[in-house]
Each structure stands twice: as C-alpha cells, then as structure tokens.
Amino acid sequence: MTAIINARLYDYVTYIESGYVCFEETIQEVGPMENFKGADSIIDAKGMLILPGFINFHTHAYSVFATGFDFKASPKSFTDILEQIWWRMDRILECEDLYHSAIYYGACSAQDGVLGIVDHNASGAIKGALESVKRGFDEVGVYGTTCFETSDRYQVEACLTENENFIRKGQPYFGLHASMTLSDKTLGAVRSRLNGGLIHVHVSESIDDQNRYTETPIQRLNRHGLLKPDSLLVHGVHLSHADYQRIRDHECVLALAPKSNLNNGVGTVDFKELIENDIQILAGTDGLGTDVANSWLWIYYLANNQLGGLSPDFLRNAIEKSYLYYERVTGRKTGRFKTGYRMDLILVNYNPATPIDSESIFAHLLYGVFEKMDVQKAWVNGNQIVDKGRLTHSYLEASKNAVHVIWDKLGGKHV
C-alpha cells in the first residue's frame, strides 16, 4: 500500500489541512497526519494540494490535430464553420488517426489534471472507430468513454451499429450530432436501437440548429422519446423557455463549453433559466484544449456576468454534483476522498501568499489554482501516469508524426 503524506486534501466537500491518503487501486484510508500509521511506500507531498481528477464531459479528441492548421476558411455562420473546417477534417480520419489523436489528447488531458474524458467522435471511418479511440485513452491511462455522432451526412446504419456495439460493451452513450443533421427517420431508428444507452448530443449550439426545423431540437428529441434522465445534452445556447422546462422535466443534464461557444461566436447559455429550472450543469471543452478547470472558471465568470452577485457556491456545488453524475452513468466512484473510491487524484503545486482553511479553500481554487493548473503528479486506479508535470511514459512521438499524414490529406503543409 502507498501513502501520500503531508498534503492539503480537498474534494469540494471536506478539507484537511495536513493529511494523508493511503491507496492501492482504490482509496484505503484518509485522515489528518496525526492518525497516519505508516505504509509500504510513502510520497511526501510537502504541503501540495490533492484534488480529485477532473472530468471532461464533452470533447472531440480528434480536434487536437486541427491546432495550427490553416483551413483557409472564411465562415459567415456556424454551418460554415462546420462545412469549411470540422466536416472537412473529420471525413478523412481513419481508425489509426483516431487512435493517435486519443493518445495525444489523453496525454495533454492528464497533464492538465483531467483523468476522465467523455468523447464525441466523428470520422470517415465508422466501423472500429470507437475501439480505436478507447484504445488510445487506455494506453495513456486515462479513463475514457466515447460514442459516434450519428448524422445523416454519414451512412446512418453504420453509425447506429457502431454505437449499439459499444453500448453492449458497457459504454453509456449513444452519440448523435445535432438536430440539424438528423432526419425524423434517423431519430426514430436511434430510439429503436438505444439498448439502454443515453443520448450524447449537441442541442441548440447555434441558431442554425435551433431554427432548422419548425420544432426546436429539444421538441424533436422529446417527440421521439429520446430525452431520458441523465441524457447528456451539450451547449444549449439558444434553448427556449419551454426547452429548459422539458430538460428539467426529463431530468437531463447540460454540458457547457463556454470557450468554444465564444470562439464560434454563437453566444452563451441563459444561466438564469438553468438556475431557475434546477438543471444540472457539467463542464466540457468541446475539443478546444483540455483544461477543464478553465472551463469551470469560464462558466462561473459568464454566469456572474449575466446574473451579478453569484456566490462561488454555485460553482462548487456544480463540480461536486458532476462526480455524482459520472458515477451514475459509468459506475465509477470518484471525486471523493473516501474509502473504496477510485484512486483518481492529482497533486497540484500551489503556494499562495494568503492563508488557506476550510472556509477559504474553494476561493483559492477559483481565483488561484484554476487560473494556472500546475499538476505535478496524477494517478488513475492507483497507477501513477504523471510525474513532475510529465507523463510517466512517452506516447507522443508517433502521434506527432501522425499529424503530418492528416495535414497532407487536407492539402496543407507542415514543418
């Protein structure tokens, strides 16, 4: 058994100023240093902060290969962004490309303290795509789930089969792109093939999606019986008042990706509606980087900008509840420093000038730690995957080389 000692521990509920955690694959014991009785192996945290690993509740791992590429695009709408950039890229991706993108994205995530990834894949290759992504995440050591974003721009039957097969393997989500690319026929087929899965879908990300049909995306999903408790809806920027009420009534959750929304110029979600309807929110990056702490930060800033005088407890409660949601859909107990929980933790270097105690710790996260995550070590299932801010094993060279092949397919250049 291994122990981390002399650490500050905080799991969004309990703060221990100077404590220890003993672990194997799961946490065996936690407490203040005066209760520590020893362990086979000891890591001295020297006052550093232990936090639960973050979960990225919505991303596209393949997007890592778009960074720096000149698409020579001049989009005038969100649909233009899809057609000129993302659809142009994803349709050329093969299974090997997806495997390498998952390795690189998983590695970058771990170094940002993100140990759980909820991926939403799109690619020219459909059969075997999800296994390729999962294999890349597994190789790095992060815990990843993925699904294929079913769309009428693909062979729909192949999309349905790929999602269906992966759900049979224990994955929770059935992927859909967005209402704007899904016919009624396709939505009906999805309903018949869910096999207990939950939909993971972009909703009302842009006005293009909200207004594509006479019904809103939420109305269409509801009519086809696809809104179920814990369904993972994403963005929700242009939801109507009635849409928020339907989401509430069906007990769905909404993953927010504020930086992506701002980058695409589509707007921001209505936080007043979210709060008044008591809709659970989660944080994602939508493929724009891997720093989920920063996504949570932007959620708070934008909410406070809209509403004014918003207590930081709004964000603390949302983060705490996000781990409970993750456990419900994956069965993975993480996010608390309690016996039997997964040893999915990060050790963060943070030395403020001001005191830390149980009353001020979350404010330190909000205005200090989250502003510049300095992850020194990370463990998943008790296995250390990050040390001194770097992966314990190097997986990146092959993935870096893979980008040259992809850029060549896109007709670009690389150095």
User: What is the reported pLDDT for 76?
Assistant: 86
Domain limits of the chain?
2-52+336-391, 54-330
392 vs 313: which has the higher pLDDT: 313
pLDDT at residue 414 is higher than 50: no
Q: What are the tens digits of pLDDT across the range 181-199?
A: 999 999 999 999 999 999 9
- Helices (DSSP H) in 258-291: which residue ranges? 258-264, 271-276
Question: Where do we find the tokens 């194997």?
Answer: 24
pTM (two decimals): 0.95
Q: What is the average per-residue pLDDT within 344-361? A: 95
Inter-helix orientation angle 292-307/313-330, to 10°: 130
The pLDDT confidence band at residue 83, using thresholds 50, 70 and 90, is confident
- Which pLDDT score, from 0 to 100, does residue 415 have? 34
Which pLDDT score is estimated for 365?
97
Average of per-residue pLDDT across 281-288? 97
Give tens-digit pLDDT for 158-182: 999 999 999 999 999 999 999 999 9
Give the pLDDT confidence score for residue 71 in this predicted structure.
83
- Count CB-CB contacts under 10 A for residue 362: 18
Q: How confident is the model at residue 64 (pLDDT cuts 50, 70, 90)?
A: confident
pLDDT for 273 beyond 50? yes
CB 385 within 8 A of CB 110: yes
Name the CATH topology of 2-52+336-391.
Urease, subunit C; domain 1 (2.30.40)
Q: How, if at all, do strands 2-10 and 15-23 pair?
A: antiparallel
CATH topology of domain 54-330: TIM Barrel (3.20.20)
In eight-state DSSP terms, residue 181 is G
What does the DSSP assignment read for 284-331?
--TTS-S-HHHHHHHHHHHHHHHHSS--THHHHHHHHHHHHHHHHHH-
Average pLDDT along the chain: 94
Equal fold, 2-52+336-391 vs 54-330 = no
Q: What is the pLDDT of residue 139?
A: 93
Band (397; pLDDT cuts 50, 70, 90): low
Average pLDDT over every residue of 310-314: 96
Tens digits of residue pLDDT in 2-23 = 999 999 999 999 999 999 999 9
What integer pLDDT is reported at residue 70 of this predicted model? Answer: 77
Tell me what the mean pLDDT of segment 83-91 comes to: 86
Residue 256 has pLDDT above 50, yes or no: yes
Q: Can you tell me whether residue 30 is helix, strand or coil? A: strand
pLDDT band, residue 395 (cuts 50/70/90): low
